Structures are given as structure tokens and as C-alpha cells.
Structure 1
Amino acid sequence: MKVNKWIFYIFLFVGSICWAQKSTNKTPLTTIIKTIEQQYNIKFSYAVEDIVNITIEKPSPTLNLQQTIDYLNANVPLNFKTLDSRYITISRLDKNISICGVVFTEDSKTTLPGATIRIKNSSEGSISSNNGSFNLKDVAIDAEIVISYLGYETKEFNAREFFSTDKNNCKNIFLKSTKEELNPVLINVFLTSGLQKNIDGSTVLNTKKFGILPGLTEPDILQSIQTLPGVESSNESIANINVRGGTNDQNLMLWDNIKMYHSGHFFGLISAYNPNLTNKVIVTKNGTSAEYSDGVSSTVNMSTNNEIRNNISGGAGINLISGDVFVEIPLAKNLEIDLSARHSITDMINTPTYSRYYKKSFQDSEINANNLDKNTNSDFYFYDYTAKILYDLNDKHQFRANIIGINNELNYSENNNNDQSQSKASTLSQKNLGYGGNWKAQWTNQFSSQLSTYFSRYNIDASDYRVTTDQLLTEANEVLETGTKLNLYYDLNQNMKFLAGYQVTETGMLNQTRVSAPFYSSTKKDVLLNHALFLETEYNKNKTYLRLGMRLNYFQKFEKLLFEPRINFRQKFSEQLALKIEGEFKNQTTTQIIDFEDDFLGVEKRRWQLVNNKDIPIAKSKQASLGLEFSQNDWNIELTGFYKMVDGITASNQGFYNNFQYKKAHGSYTDNGVEFLINKTTKKYSTWLSYTYSINNYDFESFTPSTFPNNVDIRHSFTLGFNYNILDNLKISIGGIWHNGLPYTKPVEGDETVQNGNNTFVNYDAPNSQNLDNFLRIDTSLSYTLNFTQRLKASLRAGIINLTNEKNYINRYYKVDPNNTEKAIEVNNQSLGFTPNVSFRVNF
């Protein structure tokens, strides 16, 4: 014990000497000033806050007073000015300086390449190099420098803190890791600024840093992700995003851990999630973390700002469809509230953009604005709002609470021009309301937890009243869901992490149809309670990344267990080449049924329904992919082969326009193919080309034929884009989409209709044996940024969808000719024509 005690004292003594020797190199400026005042009998005039944190090496005692002042001016970011023989003033510099630094991780003290360094309230900045270093020139002495890295806490510094006359003396910055992201960024700028690629293969959209994409005037979340290979919308609708051949209801939508059942305004043409408060979006197609299930095609995880800031920030903007405002208000050092609201302007003014969207949305519905025999009147508007409260009890415990509301409203009436008594009035309302709470706790340096809970309510209600028959038809579809999830994190070391958790979800759904004359009423209610346990381990060291997970699901109503293994593996062979392997099993207990008879005025044909494990079974997916990644000299090349099989889909979920339209059956689809992407990104420009080849087929045993092409079977799909920074504040983007036409089914030639009792139906030929003409669309955008001050800036953007006004068909079906029941009429749905939009934003 005595030996250990003496060893301790020896280390303490030696350490004290070393520290004293090191600390003698620099002295506080306040001490140096007092020494000079006494030595030369002079007085310095200054503000204490300007000099209190500055330390420099002592000036040589052999220097005279003027040489000493010159030395201080050269080594301190202050201005020393001699007024007379007795008084000298000290003031802040009013000039620009060059700064440099090196970014490290706080825990392992390793450098962080790819960290973002930017001047606050400015578009200027840089990215740290491979050794974590960065340099910025011509920086205002009072500028605030913001340093951030995905998965680490953001830090802010004043430019003065970097000041040094020694170009080799760069400031060291240490960033503390957080639990928000488990996986580091692999590619910092992917296609455009604000798009990043994680090491686990997921894609991150950072809306605050969003650059520019063809056709977009704002970082629309669900439109932006369609630039990724394998992600498409077969009918140009956000409400119908197809990931590797899946239907829209197979995408899990999360907003701050709240499950959402509604995705688009304007019945699918605009994202329902305000991008100005939605801070980050992570899109995962395969190899999903075990903590997520439900959504057999993809996971779209949206999150808002999670950090309490020092200053009020916000912004407002308007385009030819809507106006919005958002604000982030710190109420105290540990308390903040974030608010956003957006409302359409279409109920006040009809713009060219609104006209194009209106025509596209309602072309295949009872609402037909071009009907010359009727006098029509429609009132359509939408809005959304969010609120979030951020409270930090201390540096170990964080509490978050949020709310999101989405609403679409349509009021429609029509009168017969020849007979005013023949009139109808219709209404349609679509809403999604969500509440969520979150508690993060850091119990030890290695152990942390996250408890989240949410409530989500989705409603769609329609009423259709016809005066001539005195008949009122009302329809309703409601979803009520509550969920609670506990995640437990344990970091064994900097290379290996563990995740374990439990999730319970209760989902209730209602479908109701009522007719007043003759009276008819149908109401169906279902409730399902799901429990899940999940376990996951993640290893990331040198050139190897591996995430293995297992999820156990128990469906209480069916007394059924499902195991879901997950794997996500990446191995670098060199600095340029890497191999990627992903695989997952997933399940889904909710689905959207397409009802052609009770179809909410023809605008929205889909109703949410719960599985019953009989005619609507639990959907189960199996997916595997193998890929190669190459990266060198700003080039990124990816080649991925994938196989995906989803079993448990229903015929009524697919929206068949053929002989299977009203049949009930369940089957599967298999999609396999190859995705290719080549992208070169520099500070001046970015260009990319993506290609997807896939074969997507149905398999329904009870149908004849049992195997036929999927409704969204697109064999060949190309996307080409080019972004160019004309000036630092002026950017242009142009790009195009080309793909095969969608499959459709035509009637039997010469025998187009068939009669069954008193009803006549279209007599369809082999299902999906024909294809529409190829789809081609060219889009472009222009962005101009104005910096009024360091905190206040504005942006003006213009975009055009379908620049060449191509006439693209996105759906074709047939109906019986009312004037000749032996013939079928061809009905074509068209995509958006030439659609311009302009937006103006101010942020502070």
C-alpha cells in the first residue's frame, strides 16, 4: 500500500511539473496588461468581456513600449491604439480573418472526416478533410462558426476563438456522440447537398441543407426520395410511392416516432409533411434495424429538430400552392418550443400550378370541372401544423413532446344547366392527427435508454347528397392507433454496440357506409394488439460494418408468433471498393383495400383495413440484396442486385382493372432486379445517372392465369440529373425520367362485354398483357439566394415539371358504353402537363 501511495505522489508531482511547464507557455492577456501598465506607467481602456478569455505568450521584456504594442496587435484579435503617452485603447477588430481547426471525437479522440463547418446564417462553409482538418478564409471576426456531424452534438464557436498568427496552430474541436444516429455517414453529399448516404445503406435527407433537384422549388420530402434508384411513383402521386415494386401502404411512415397513415396533400401530389420543420428523413429499403417492423417495402423515418438552441430562428415562405411559417423559440436554457403551420392559397386564388394539379387529381372522379352540361362549384383547401416542446432536465435526461395535424377538405356542388332542380352537394374530409412523447436517458457512459409513446388518428369522411332522389350517401374510414416502445442501448466499446427493446401497439379500424333512401347501413370494426421483442448488435471497425438483429412478434388475437431476422453487412476491400449484403424478414398487419363501388367520390378509393388472418392474411416479406460500391475522386458508383417476395397481399388491395376486379383472393408478388447509380459531386456541380431493371410478377393460385405482371411492373427505368452552381448564390438543375409504360388489360377483341344476369361487364383479355406508351418527363429548377445579413437571408426558386409538356398516360381501363352495351369505352388517365411553380422564402 505504501509503494502504491508513493507511486501516486510521484505521478502527481511529475504531472504537476509537466503541466506547469506547459502552462507557462501562455499567459492570460489580463495579467500581461497589468504588468505593462506597471512597467511603463500607462493605462489601458477596454471592455472586460473582450479580453477575458484570451491567452498568449508573454512579450519579451527587452521590447520597448511601441514594440510591445506591435507584438500584441500581431498576436491578439484586438486593436491596440495609442491615444497619447499615457492612454492606450483596446477594441475589437473590424476585419476578416482566416481560421483553421481539426475535428475529433470526444470519446476516442480520433479525427472526424466529413464534418460540416459553416458560418451561421450564411451559405458559406466547408467539410473537414480525411484527417479531420479544415480551413476557412475571409471570415468576419464576429462570425459564429457551427460545426456538426451526423450522430454527434453540434457545437458553435466565435471566430475569435480560432485566431492565431501561427498558421500551424489550428484549434482542436471535440464532438460528443449522441444516440440519435447509430451509423456514421458514408457519403456527405449524395446527388445534391442535403442528401447523404449512411454506412448501413440508408439515405438521409437533411432539409435544412437541401440544395436543388429538378422540378422542385422546396425540399418536398416524398418527392425528393424518388430520385433514389428503386423508388418510384407509378402514377406521379406521393400517395402511391412504389419501393422495389411494392404498393404505397407497404411503406412505414414515421414522424418523430409517430406512425402516420396519410402522406399527401392535394390527394397525393404534395407531401403532407412541412419540410421546413422536418429536419431529417432516413429512407431504408432493406436491412432495416430490428426496432422497426410493419412496412414490408420500406421505412421512411422523419424527425424534427431535437436540439435546444440559443437564439430564435424561423422562416416563412409562399409558393403558387401554399404559404407556411415556422419558428423555433428557446424559452430558457433548457426549454424550447418549435411551431410550424402551412395553408393552401388555392381557396383564395387560382394559380396555373393549382389548375394543373386540380386537373390531374380529379380527372378520374365524379368531380369533373370540364363537364359542359353542368354548372359546378368546388372549394378545396388543405393545411397542416406541428408543435414540439423540448425540455432538458439536465445533460443526462431529455424530454420531447410533439403534435402533428394534417387536413384536406373538399366541398363540391353541381347543377344541371337544363334543370336546376337536378343538383348534388358533396363533401370530402381527410385528416391525420398524431401525438407523441419521448424520454431519453443516459444512465452511464455506456448505458442509455429511450422511451417513446404515440397516438395516431386517421379519418376520411365523405357525404354525397342528390336532390332528385333525396338520397344521402355517407362513408367513413377511421384508424386509431396507440404505441409504446422502449429501447435500451449498451455501448460495449467504440466498435460494438447492443440494442434491446420491447414494443406494444394497439390498432383499431372502422369502415362505415350508410345510404338514406333506400336505407342501408354497414359498419365494420376491428382491433389488433401486437407485442414485439427485438435484439440487435452492431459492429463497426476499420473496414467492416455488421448489424445483426432479430425481432419476435406476437399477435394476441391470432395467438401467432413471427420471427424476423435482419442482416446489414458492409466490407471494404480497399479505400475505393466495398461489398454490401442486406437481408430482412418483415410483416405487416394493416392494408389498404381499394373499393370501386364506395370510393369517396372517386377521389380517394382506398380504405385502411386490419388483417383477420383469413381472407386478409398477415403480409410477410423476404428480401435480400447484394451490391458493390466504388468511390474515388468525387465519383460514387453503386451496383445492387435484389430479390424481394411479399406473401399475403389481397386482390382488393391491388386495384385490378380486369376480370379480377371484384374477386376476393390472396396471393404474393416477387420482384427481382438490378439497381445502378453513378454520381459525381463537386463543389461546383453534381451529375447522376440511375437505372433500375426489375421483373415484378403476381402469383394468385385461384386465378387463371395464376402468374401475370404486377400492376406496377416497370422493367426499365432511367433517371438523369445535373446540378450546377452558376454563382455562389445561383444554382440551376435539370433532369429527366424515362421508364416503360405500365401494364394494362384490354378487352377481348370482337367480344368486348359480357352479361351476367341484368348486369353487363367488360370482358377483359389476359391480365396486364399490354403496356402503355413509354413515360418521359423533363424537369428543371432555378435557385437564387440573397443574404441580407448574417442572420437574415432569403431564397427565390422557380421550377417546372414536364418542361416539354409530354403527354404521358399513367393508367388505362375500360367501361361499358352506356349507348351500346356491346362496346367498351377506353378511359385514359394522364400525368401532369407543363406545371410551373415559384417560391419565395425568408429565413432568420
Structure 2
Amino acid sequence: MLLNKWGIYLLLCIGNFCYGQNTPQKTPLTEVIITVEKQFNIKFSYAVEDVKAVMIQIPNAAFTLQETITYLNSNTLLNFKILNDRYITISVLNKTTSICGVIFSDKIKSPLVGASVFVNNSKSSTITDANGRFSFGSIPITATLTISYVGFESRQFSANELFTTADKCTEIVLYSKNEELNQVLINVYLTPGIQKYLDGSTVLNTKNFTILPGLIEPDILQSIQLLPGVESINESIANLNVRGGTNDQNLMLWDNIKMYHSGHFFGLISAYNPNLTNKVVVNKNGTSAEFSDGVSSTINMYTKNLLTNTFSGGAGINSISADAFLEIPITKKLDLHISGRRSVTDWVKSPTYDKYFERSFEDTEINKSSYQHDTSSDFYFYDYTAKLLFDLNEKHQFRVNIIGINNALDYSEHLTNSNETQSKTSNLFQKNIGYGGNWKAIWNTKLSTDFISYFSKYTINANDYRVETDQLVSEENQVLDTGIKLNTHYKTNENLNLLFGYQFNETGMLNQTIVINPNYSSTIKGVMLNHALFSEVEYHKNNTYVRVGLRFNYFQKFDKLLIEPRINIRQKLSNEFALKLEGEFKNQSSTQIVDFQDDFLGVEKRRWVLVNNKDIPIATSKQVSFGLEFNKNKVNIEATGFYKIVDGITASNQGFYNSFQYTIANGSYTAKGLEFFANKTGYQYSIWLSYTFSINNYQFNTLKPSEFPNNVDIRHSLSVGFYYTIIKNIKIAVGGSWRNGQPYTKPIEGAQTKQNGNNVMVNYGSPNNDNLDNFMRLDASLNYSFNLSPLIKASITAGVINVTNQDNVINRYYKVNSNDKNNALQVDNKSLGLTPNISFRINF
């Protein structure tokens, strides 16, 4: 017995002291129990879940049994009770505990401000304060916490590890990740959950999101509109205008799958579920050479990509839809993440639905009424995602994804004539489904590869029964896009990264129109094969960040090669000031054409087409921007000037409401301006101001006049807002936006219409020569979070869009007055009026 006792003591000495460790290492309690059982020939009786997460320093091997039990009782939140000479019971002393910690960086041991601390399988989370400190007043003793900070390795701790009987908090060290060059520049940008990277990209981390004015959830594409240089002139996330571009000039990627559709309610709600979306990276310029095919911006959405080995999920319902998501561990190496959302508006018509319906179907056949007609409509949407995560080992990861987005509309007309009623039903279906796969391999400490593949299918079709003429019009637009990409990353040292890659895309598009009575049919198909080679160097050391890339694009159909250089430089001048320079060439081989007359029941007026290098050329862009940044004491100020030329646009994809509406012409636009952003953040608040000044003009050499203002020429745009944590579980956000009205074209006074053959048309004057009244809106949101149980968290969020019910006209055009064909009738499209919404969510 004595030999055995000294043998254990010698083993503990070797494990804890003989390597010169200053601080004794902690060991799982389950291992300590086994050692003590052998040492004293006893048995412990306990529930595994009560002790499996407990870590403790091994008791002195020289202790007697009573001393050992006393030590275990004083250093854990468990009750060790001796029943007899043979058995000892272990029970939970307290179900919850309070903990605190201070987080430091590994190299200079400075406090990490804004580090994220999550209680796994719950909604409890916090960030560290100015001293790197965090605390929780009451959490389960069996809980596990994850501590993370961008640029550092995440660490997990049990609540028992952070429990201390002393007055001071547990010190925790996070170790930096040397391989991550593109570090966070600003940890809180606008609001917690939005960050700024060194390369100038903006990152939305939806897991850390608080609230934004008017929103009841972290709507990805709505949140982007708070950034300077990003507008939506018609309030639609399906029409994001980045530095004067059209929506089809934004490259949308969801886990590397190219998406061709982005919104529900035809643009009022983002179609991407934020609950499984881990981060969204927005690039307006200086994009990595890895990406192309979006001449205005790249919006890259990533879902959670790490195995958690914990079951978690959540669900919510609001005035428009209900959703749920689950993260399911199947094995230690395999996870399944799923989500789904469906509108409830075909069951319950809320005031929010009424406002959204009126706005979405304004000036369409759905909202038209006649004394001869009775109409009814049934509209719903849904989306779903699934992701399978498999880690073969530490060096090989496999991911498989699927995403589906659906909008459906049934519209019925009932025409009564001579006591006879005719009924016809029209319908509209809009879908985007995508499949993706990714294999990441780490071959050694310097070399890694990413193999990416995807398939995306977009379809919109409509069957329009026109009762008055007994006519059926069927229209379809379909996109099939298949792509593969191989990225090779080589890390020469901790400051320098190299990227080499190849990308292949095959894109096919179909446009079909079939008319019955009279019979007519038109089908247009096209296929393109594109190849690309790209290379990039990324360097970051001390105050200098540089990323330089080159991309070679080969269009097989046209035997055409386009070379695209990219540059992104940030130089820190002092602790407070930095300069940044960004530039890029990009191209785009697909675009949308706009038909205001007939497309898809008038609800969706755009259809995708491929370039043909003739009347629809390849669109190309050249852009440069230069800026100054100031950052001190959580005050961030940025001023950026930009100059952008996009060539190869067509009159048909601009959506003209003027004399060029039916003209075939190719041209360009030039956007130049200044973006200003100021933000002050604190532990409980954030205040921001965003202002953009820009001049945006078209140039069409074959039109007269050849130069005139762009449809989205918004000279001045201003937004201000703040969020504030009133108390720990109540947050408020208020914000307002103001901008110049959109340009529009008036008919010629005294000659508002003109004869064109047998048709009478509006006789427009100078294109985009007038502007609508200024746009102004105030939004607000309020969030209250609470615990339903230690493991189930809940929140209620209320939001109001356009609190003051401002009457904003967002588009104006003219049509021939059917009662007086010598005059034109003015048509105004209005923005959302006062629109309330409320949501209830639970997370576990």
C-alpha cells in the first residue's frame, strides 16, 4: 500500500512539476475519481453529467482519505459525502453559479476588449469590457463556455473551471492565430456584430448581432444598407445600389454558391436565414482576385463552419413568418445544421402583411381593380438550408450545402357579364435552389487547398390569364449555373500569404414566352463557358497591409481574354491615422433586362440574360478609391473618395421611364463621390453618422442627349442612428435616413403624348431632368431578452419602419390617359408607410 501510494505521488510529480510548470495543470474530475478509487480502495457513486465538465488540480497524493474529500469539496461545486468505509456519493451542491474572468492576449498579455463569451447551448453571451473582464451572474455549473476573438484561437471552459473561491476573477489567455493575415481593424462597427477588416471589407457576424433601427432580426441585406455608398432607391433588398450600380451588378454568394435571387415579398425581406449565417463579407472595391462577375460589389455569406458537438437550435415567429433551426451533432466528426422559414400570411393577415402586400404589388395587375372584376390572391414564401459538416481529421474538412428560396402567388379574377361569371387563375413561381461542396485540406504548416463546387438553378415562371381578352400568356426565365474552383494557399512566413487558383463556370439561360389567342411563341437559349486563373500576394506586418492580385478571364464562346488587376493597401501613419488605397478591374457576363409592360404579372419586371458580345456586351468596371481613417478611444472616422466607370451596360437593363424605354443601345456610367462615416462606441451604446455625396451620369453615344443623370443618381444621402442598452436585457435602436429624390422624366408641356403608328405614347422631355421630393424616414426597434429556463433563452423584439408615417414617393412615371389621349397620367409609387412588426424567439 505504501509503495502504491508513493508510486502515485511520483507519477503526479512527473506530470505536474518535473517539466518546470509554474502553474499546476487541471485534470478532468473523472480521472481524479479513478485515481482516488484505486488509491484508497473505495467507490464513488455519481451521475456522469454532474462531473464530466469539471476540471480540478489533482489533490496531494500524501493526503488521507478525509483530507482528499475535504479538498474536493472546497474546490468544486459538488458535495462529496462519505457513506461508509467503502462508498462515497457525489451530488450537485448548487445548480447554478456566478463566474467571472479576465481575458488577455498571449504575446504582451494585454486585455482583449470586445472578446465574445458564449454559454454553449444557450442564448447567454457577453463581451469583455475595457479591462478585458466578463461575468455571468447565474449559469448552470455544468455549462460550457466558448471564448473567441478574431485573430485568436477560440477556447472552451467549463463553469467549474472559472469558479473560484477567491475574490479575483480567473485569468484566461487566448493564443493568436499567426496564419490569419486579414485581421479585424474595428471590432464594433455601427453595432455589435458588425466589424471592419483591414482590407476595408465590412463583416456582419449575425451571432453577435444586437438590433438595428426598424429591424426585428438581423436581416442581412437590410443591414448592409446602413453602410455608406449602399442605397436602395425603392426600399428593396432585391435592388441594392452600390456606388451607383444596379442590383444585378452585385455578386451574391452563399457558402460559395452563386445566387440569382435574394428576397421574399419581392425584395422587402432578405431570403437568407440569419440564424445559421455566421458572417457576411461586403466588398465595394479592392476585392480579392478570387472573385469576379460583380462589377459593383461582392456580398459573400458564410454559414457556421465548425463542429460544435453540442445540440442547439432555436425558433421564432413574427407578423410575417415563422422559422426554426437546429445544429445536430451526429458523431464527434459529423454535424448537421438545418433551418427553415415559411410565411404565415396565407393563414393570418397582420397589419404588417397588409403594408408589405400593398408595397410589393403596387401598380401591378394584382392591385388593379375594376367594377366588373372581383379578385383574390394567395401569396406565400418559404426558404430552407442544410449543411453537413464532416472532419475526417485535423487536416481534412468536408462540407456539403443546400439552399432553397421560393415565392409563390396565385391570383384569381372573376368577371361577371350578362349574369354569367367567368373565373381565371393566374400564378407566379420564383425559385432559386443551390447545391455546394467544399473540401479543405491542410497539407503542412505552409500549404493548404480549398476545392469548391456548386450548382445553382433559378426559375421564374408566370401563367397570366387575361379575362377580358380570354388570353393566356406564359413566361419563363431560367438560369443554370455550375462552377468549380481550386484555391491554393501558401504561407511563406507569418507575414506573407500567397494565393493561386483556377475557376470554371458553365452558365445557361432560357427565356420563353408563349401566348394563346393569338398564338405566339418565342424561346431564346444561351450557354457560356468561362475559365479563370488568378494569383494574389497578401502581406501584413506592423503598420502595413498590402494585397495585390491578378485575374485572367477567358470567355470560350467569344475567344476573348480579360485581365483584371486588383490592389488593396492600408498604411498606418500613427496610432490614430491611416491611409487606404483600393482599386480593381472586374467583369460580368450575365445581366438583367427590365420590361415594365408584361413581365410576370407586373410583379417581377426583370429577367436574366447572357451577354452575346454584340447588343449585350460583357460589362466591365474600373474603380479606384482613396481614403483617410481615424481611430482613437472607440471613435472611428473615415472619409473615402471613389471614381468608378462601368462600361457595357444596355438601355434595356436600366429600366428607363423615358423616350429611351424601347431603344436598343449600349453605353456606360461614371460614378464619383465621397463617403464619410463617423462612429462612437461604448460598452452599452453606439452612435453613427453616414453620408455619401456622388455624381452619377450615363453616357450613350448613339442617343440624344448622349449624357444624362443615372436613374440612381442620388447626390446626397445621410443616415444617423444609435443603439443603447437601457439595462442588461433591454436594448433600443433608433435611426433616420434622408436623401435626395430619384431622378425622373417629365412629359413635354403642351404636347404630353404623341402618335407612333397606331399607338399613342407619352412624349417625354429631357431624360432624368427632374428629381422627386427628398426621401426621409425614421425607424425604431426595442428588444427585451429573458430566460425561460437555465438552458432556454427568449427574446421579444418590436420594430417600426417609418415611425412618422412619412409620405415618400420613390418612383414616378407617366402613361397615356385612357379618357384623354392628349394628356399623360402621372403615376407615383409610394414607399412603406408606418409599418409595425414584432417577433418572439427562443434559443436553446
If the length of structure 1 is used for normalisation, what is the TM-score? Answer: 0.91
1:600 partner SS: helix
Which residue in the other structure is 2:617 paired with? 617
Change (3 A) 1:367 1:77: closer
Alignment of 1:627-666 (within 5 A): 627-666=627-666
Equivalent pair of 1:122/1:787 in contact (CA under 8 Å): no
Q: Distance in 1 between matches of 2:300 and 2:835?
A: 29
Displacement, 1:694?
A: 0.6
Change (3 A) 1:778 1:177: same
Does 2:648 correspond to 1:682?
Answer: no
Displacement, 1:597?
A: 3.7
1:726-778 deviation per Cα after TM superposition (whole angstroms, max 9, x unaligned):
12111111111110000000011111111122122111111101000000111
Instruction: Letter of the 2:57 partner, please give it.
Output: T
Displacement, 1:598?
A: 3.2
Which residue in the other structure is 2:263 paired with? 264
1:454 partner SS: strand
Which residue in the other structure is 2:728 paired with? 728
Does 2:56 correspond to 1:54?
Answer: yes
Displacement, 1:689?
A: 1.0
Which residue in the other structure is 1:449 paired with? 449
Change (3 A) 1:365 1:109: same
Instruction: Letter of the 2:801 partner, please give it.
Output: I
Change (3 A) 1:105 1:401: farther
Does 2:605 correspond to 1:626?
Answer: no
Which residue in the other structure is 1:7 paired with? none
Q: Distance in 2 between matches of 1:118 and 1:596?
A: 50
Alignment of 1:353-368 (within 5 A): 353-368=352-367
2:248 partner SS: helix
Displacement, 1:703?
A: 1.1
Q: Distance in 2 between matches of 1:734 and 1:160?
A: 40
Q: Distance in 2 between matches of 1:283 and 1:33?
A: 52
Does 2:776 correspond to 1:789?
Answer: no
Q: Greater CA deviation, 154-163 or 352-361?
A: 154-163
Equivalent pair of 1:421/1:467 in contact (CA under 8 Å): no
Which residue in the other structure is 1:194 paired with? 193
Which residue in the other structure is 1:185 paired with? 184
Does 2:664 correspond to 1:670?
Answer: no
Does 2:590 correspond to 1:590?
Answer: yes
Displacement, 1:136?
A: 2.9
Which residue in the other structure is 2:97 paired with? 96
Which residue in the other structure is 1:227 paired with? 226
Which residue in the other structure is 2:503 paired with? 503
Displacement, 1:73?
A: 5.7
Displacement, 1:374?
A: 2.0
Change (3 A) 1:46 1:17: closer
Which residue in the other structure is 1:816 paired with? 816
2:147 partner SS: strand
Change (3 A) 1:791 1:708: same
Equivalent pair of 2:37/2:44 in contact (CA under 8 Å): no
Which residue in the other structure is 2:826 paired with? 826
Change (3 A) 1:44 1:100: farther
Equivalent pair of 1:103/1:128 in contact (CA under 8 Å): no
Displacement, 1:90?
A: 6.4
Change (3 A) 1:342 1:168: closer
Displacement, 1:655?
A: 0.6
Which residue in the other structure is 2:276 paired with? 277
1:523-581 deviation per Cα after TM superposition (whole angstroms, max 9, x unaligned):
11111100000101111111111111111100001111111111111111222221111
Which residue in the other structure is 2:9 paired with? none
1:662 partner SS: coil
Change (3 A) 1:351 1:371: farther
Equivalent pair of 1:537/1:548 in contact (CA under 8 Å): yes
2:570 partner SS: strand
Change (3 A) 1:66 1:295: same
Change (3 A) 1:55 1:818: same
Equivalent pair of 2:24/2:57 in contact (CA under 8 Å): no
Displacement, 1:143?
A: 3.1
Instruction: Letter of the 2:591 partner, please give it.
Output: T
1:477 partner SS: strand
Q: Distance in 2 between matches of 1:367 and 1:34?
A: 73
1:665-710 deviation per Cα after TM superposition (whole angstroms, max 9, x unaligned):
1111111111111111222211111111111111111111111110
Q: Distance in 2 between matches of 1:609 and 1:37?
A: 74
Does 2:465 correspond to 1:465?
Answer: yes
Equivalent pair of 1:425/1:466 in contact (CA under 8 Å): no
Equivalent pair of 2:121/2:312 in contact (CA under 8 Å): no
Change (3 A) 1:316 1:38: closer
Displacement, 1:279?
A: 2.3
1:456-509 deviation per Cα after TM superposition (whole angstroms, max 9, x unaligned):
111111111234533221111111110000011111122111111000000011
Which residue in the other structure is 2:142 paired with? 142
1:393 partner SS: strand
Instruction: Letter of the 1:223 partner, please give it.
Output: Q
Instruction: Letter of the 1:96 partner, please give it.
Output: T
2:652 partner SS: helix
1:245 partner SS: coil
Which residue in the other structure is 1:159 paired with? 159
Displacement, 1:67?
A: 9.0
Equivalent pair of 2:121/2:311 in contact (CA under 8 Å): no
Q: Greater CA deviation, 790-799 or 520-529?
A: 790-799
Q: Which runs of 5+ in 1 are unaligned?
A: 1-14
Change (3 A) 1:20 1:200: closer
Change (3 A) 1:765 1:167: same
Instruction: Letter of the 2:839 partner, please give it.
Output: S
Matched residue count: 824
Alignment of 1:746-765 (within 5 A): 746-765=746-765
Instruction: Letter of the 1:487 partner, please give it.
Output: N
Change (3 A) 1:827 1:542: same
Equivalent pair of 1:44/1:90 in contact (CA under 8 Å): no
Instruction: Letter of the 2:759 partner, please give it.
Output: N
Change (3 A) 1:702 1:79: same
Change (3 A) 1:143 1:513: same
Which residue in the other structure is 1:488 paired with? 488
Displacement, 1:38?
A: 13
Change (3 A) 1:633 1:199: same
2:355 partner SS: helix
Instruction: Letter of the 1:263 partner, please give it.
Output: S
1:357 partner SS: helix
Q: Distance in 2 between matches of 1:409 and 1:17?
A: 65
Instruction: Letter of the 2:235 partner, please give it.
Output: E
Instruction: Letter of the 1:238 partner, please give it.
Output: I
Q: Distance in 2 between matches of 1:86 and 1:456?
A: 66
Which residue in the other structure is 2:382 paired with? 383
Q: Greater CA deviation, 162-171 or 372-381?
A: 162-171
Instruction: Letter of the 2:550 partner, please give it.
Output: M
Change (3 A) 1:124 1:559: same
1:79-109 deviation per Cα after TM superposition (whole angstroms, max 9, x unaligned):
5678899998765553635443545579x99
Which residue in the other structure is 1:431 paired with? 431
1:638-671 deviation per Cα after TM superposition (whole angstroms, max 9, x unaligned):
1111111111110000011111110011111111
Displacement, 1:155?
A: 3.4
2:393 partner SS: coil
Change (3 A) 1:413 1:644: same
Instruction: Letter of the 1:100 partner, please give it.
Output: G
Q: Greater CA deviation, 67-76 or 282-291?
A: 67-76
Q: Distance in 2 between matches of 1:664 and 1:36?
A: 86
Equivalent pair of 1:189/1:195 in contact (CA under 8 Å): yes
Q: Distance in 1 between matches of 2:305 and 2:199?
A: 22
Change (3 A) 1:502 1:111: farther
Report the aligned-residue RMSD. 3.2
Change (3 A) 1:90 1:329: closer
1:350-407 deviation per Cα after TM superposition (whole angstroms, max 9, x unaligned):
1111111111111111122554542111111111111111111111111111111111
2:18 partner SS: helix
Change (3 A) 1:206 1:372: farther
Displacement, 1:159?
A: 2.1
Equivalent pair of 2:178/2:494 in contact (CA under 8 Å): no
Q: Distance in 1 between matches of 2:544 and 2:23?
A: 45
Does 2:410 correspond to 1:411?
Answer: yes
Instruction: Letter of the 2:724 partner, please give it.
Output: Y
Does 2:474 correspond to 1:474?
Answer: yes
Displacement, 1:416?
A: 3.4
Displacement, 1:813?
A: 0.6
Instruction: Letter of the 1:400 partner, please give it.
Output: R
1:359 partner SS: helix
Q: Distance in 2 between matches of 1:31 and 1:330?
A: 25
Q: Greater CA deviation, 398-407 or 147-156?
A: 147-156
1:790-812 deviation per Cα after TM superposition (whole angstroms, max 9, x unaligned):
32111111111111111100000
